[in-house]
Amino acid sequence: MYLINKLVEYDPENKTLANPISGRTIQLQLPANLCFLYLVTHPGEIISQNQLMVVGWGERNDVTTPNTFYQAILTLRNALAEVGLPRDTVKTISRRGLMLSKTTHVEVFTPTTEAVIVNKDEETVADTVIQRPVWLIITTTVLLLIVLINGVVLYKHHLTMPFSNYIPLSTGSKVGPCQPFYAPNEPMQDHYLRLLKNYPALCAENRYVFLIGYSKTERIAAFVCNNDARHDATALCTTHYFWAHEQ
């Protein structure tokens, strides 16, 4: 296991990110987990998109589209933010690939459990210690199964709604028959407005447009969907990328 920024426990075997302070635990998709583990174990290195696609999708990387890759990385960044880590823990290096942020501190750690001290001179205490694990294991197993089932249900719901926290973008005037949204922690609203003005075709045919900006590399990604992807898991989306300085 890995401890990130002395705050979040990353368990690659179980594909989880956990914040013990907030109690928040997120389970990662397999490709996102494999890509993140590779970045964590190669600090300071810029890993190309093609290399990460091989890591995350294995033999299926030849049929994996860039859109699928970027969606997995977006989901990973959302998961990092939900457990209290910066979204740019995974940084995009323009035209080169991805890397773990240099400000991210990672250390390997092993969870510890407290030992139980038994008084061997007292037969009654010894009998209790011997008998207790039987019902304790059964109770713990049942509780873990309940938590696991609830966690899977909530996780699947969360996975299908990658834009659930996005909010409407106020344009001041109608830019087209569509509804634009952006992440509440994104500072690039001016770039978004210029983008929609310069590329009116993005807002056509009652589409839903979800915008995200990478302020460090000055890139904007526009996810254009035929339905509201915040609530509709069957919505079909296409991805468009722009350089912010060209808007």
Statement: residue 231 has pLDDT above 70 = yes
Q: Kindly report, residue by residue over 43-80, the tens digit of the pLDDT.
A: 999 999 999 999 999 887 777 788 899 999 999 999 99
Which residue, among 157, 156, 150, 247, has the nearest Cα to 198 in the 3D structure?
247
Please give the DSSP secondary-structure letter assigned to residue 117. P
pLDDT tens profile 131-162 = 556 667 777 787 787 777 766 655 555 555 67
DSSP annotation of 120: T
| Contacting residues for 64 by C-beta, under 8 A, at least 6 apart | 53, 56, 57
SS3 label, residue 62:
helix
Residue 48: predicted pLDDT: 94
Instruction: Find tokens 């970045």 and name the residue.
Output: 39
Give me the pLDDT at residue 38, please: 95
**What's at 189, amino acid-wise?**
Q
**Environment class of 194 (CB within 10 Å of its CB; exposed 0-12, middle 13-18, buried 19+):** middle
| Arithmetic mean of pLDDT over the chain | 81
Structure tokens at 150: 């609830």
Tokens of 18: 């956990």
- Residue 81: both structure tokens together: 């933010």
**Comparing C-alpha atoms, which of 33, 44, 92, 102 is closest to residue 66?**
92
3-state secondary structure 11-59: ECCCCEEEECCCCEEEECCHHHHHHHHHHHCCCCCCECHHHHHHHHHHH
**Residue ranges per domain, the chain?**
2-108, 167-246
Q: Which residues fall within 8 angstroms of residue 71, CB to CB, at 6 or more apart?
A: 162, 239
Q: What is the pLDDT of residue 185?
A: 75
pLDDT one-digit tens code per residue, 70-120: 999 999 999 999 999 999 999 999 989 999 999 999 999 887 654 444 454
Report domain 2-108's class.
mainly alpha
The answer to whether 182 touches 167, Cβ cutoff 8 Å, is yes
Partners of residue 98 on adjacent β-strands: 47, 92
For the record, the structure tokens of 139 come out as 């109770």
